[in-house]
A and B are shown apart, each in its own frame.
Chain A
């Protein structure tokens, strides 16, 4: 028995000794790995598949003005413009959502419903707020995994339903409190770029009046949310500027 104990002790010591030695090395640095590498790679893969399945609008009449708006919003709010990409998808659904890898997808169906650039900025600002406030970061990796499993099960076939499920899962993972936060942050984004922050409230209300549910499926009480925005206090009430010329805006709407 004594011999067993002695040998057991030496074996255990040896095991933990080796483990201890290997622990001294900063392996992640050595191999240039990031702790979130698995999630990042999967997110990248999911995004590639999503992007391939999209019908991206490449018309410069649409892309350039939206890039301008996004750039204005980012610089006014100290966000790295290169870190965010906004993709316009030719899709009649009134929908916009932030997804893996700091991408925001805006459907043409949604842009058609927007009265002015400030409302469009309100939608983009809301989604950007989700990204900036880290609402999507926490849940997104698990979502990516579920998607990967889904892709494996369906055999890559149905990208459209994949995108639907993505946006659905992401909006489901965002709580109502976070939606309110994103609304408010989005309004602040608008204000910082000298646009009327109350357009955020108008946008939310207009969704209700359209009876549009796809974008506001998680926005069950958009009236209440609009009220929350109206209660916000901003020091200066205008004058607000216009970023795009009327002509550019008209061209954008006509090119969809």
Chain B
């Protein structure tokens, strides 16, 4: 607890320098697992994704730096995914209900978004595993944004 207090007062603190406690590792890792579950449930119904994202935000507001940093990264990684999957979802609905025709553009978008989903899935699993071990798994772009948002 004491070492944590000291760290918090350092403004130039990097997430890599934090030595998390066992329960912190568990909670931070849980954020990624939550995000995985949210994506899986949210695939057919993106609104669930949105609700889960809201819960994420509330979770990230309390908690220590380590937990906050990881839950914020999990949250940020959800945002583009949420937008892309939503577009895909409604596009699919439109095709299934015959309001628009199937097109190569749709299939191209479907493949691109799925590739992104796979990338996101792999990164999230890696994050969950590494965080559980107490290591920080930094994502390209999202890690940088998280640094900007999560200070102290």
A26: chain B residues at CB < 8 Å are 104
Contact A4 B104 (CB under 8 A): no
- Bound complex: CA A127 to CA B86 (Å): 41
Q: What is the CB-to-nearest-CB distance from B77 to chain A, in angstroms, rounded to a whole number? A: 11
- Bound complex: CA A18 to CA B107 (Å): 13
B108: chain A residues at CB < 8 Å are 19, 22-23, 25, 27
Contact B148 A38 (CB under 8 A): no
- Bound complex: CA A215 to CA B102 (Å): 35
Chain B 86-100 residues near chain A, CB threshold 8 A: 95-99
A145: chain B residues at CB < 8 Å are 97-98
Question: What band does the interface of chain B fall in when counting residues whose beta carbon is under 8 Å from A?
Answer: 20 to 34
B100-141 Cβ-contact flags toward A at 8 Å (1 or 0): 011111011101100110000000000000000000000011
B19 at the interface (CB under 8 A from A): no
Q: What is the CB-to-nearest-CB distance from B147 to chain A, in angstroms, rounded to a whole number? A: 9
- Bound complex: CA A3 to CA B108 (Å): 30
Contact B104 A11 (CB under 8 A): no
Summarize B's interface: helix, strand, loop or mixed.
helix
A4: chain B residues at CB < 8 Å are 141, 144-145, 148
A177 at the interface (CB under 8 A from B): no
A39 at the interface (CB under 8 A from B): yes
Chain A 1-51 residues near chain B, CB threshold 8 A: 1, 3-4, 7-8, 10-11, 15, 18-19, 22-23, 25-29, 31, 33-39, 42
B95: chain A residues at CB < 8 Å are 38
Given the interface pairs A11-B140, A11-B141, the reply to whether A35 lies near B112 with Cβ below 8 Å is no
- Bound complex: CA A31 to CA B110 (Å): 14
Contact A19 B109 (CB under 8 A): yes
A10: chain B residues at CB < 8 Å are 141
A194 at the interface (CB under 8 A from B): no
Contact B102 A23 (CB under 8 A): no
Summarize A's interface: helix, strand, loop or mixed.
helix
Interface size of A by CB at 8 A reads: 30
Given the interface pairs A4-B144, A7-B144, A35-B103, the reply to whether A22 lies near B111 with Cβ below 8 Å is yes
- Bound complex: CA A39 to CA B111 (Å): 22
B140: chain A residues at CB < 8 Å are 7, 11
Given the interface pairs A18-B112, A38-B95, the reply to whether A23 lies near B105 with Cβ below 8 Å is yes
Contact A33 B102 (CB under 8 A): yes
A34: chain B residues at CB < 8 Å are 102
B112: chain A residues at CB < 8 Å are 15, 18-19, 22
Additional A-B contacts beyond A4-B144, A10-B141, A26-B104 (13; CB < 8 A): A4-B145, A8-B141, A11-B141, A19-B109, A19-B112, A22-B108, A22-B111, A25-B104, A25-B108, A27-B108, A28-B103, A142-B99, A145-B97
Residues of chain B touching chain A, judged by Cβ–Cβ distance below 8 Å, are 95-99, 101-105, 107-109, 111-112, 115-116, 140-141, 144-145, 148
5 closest cross-chain pairs (CB), A and B? A35-B101, A22-B108, A27-B107, A141-B98, A7-B141
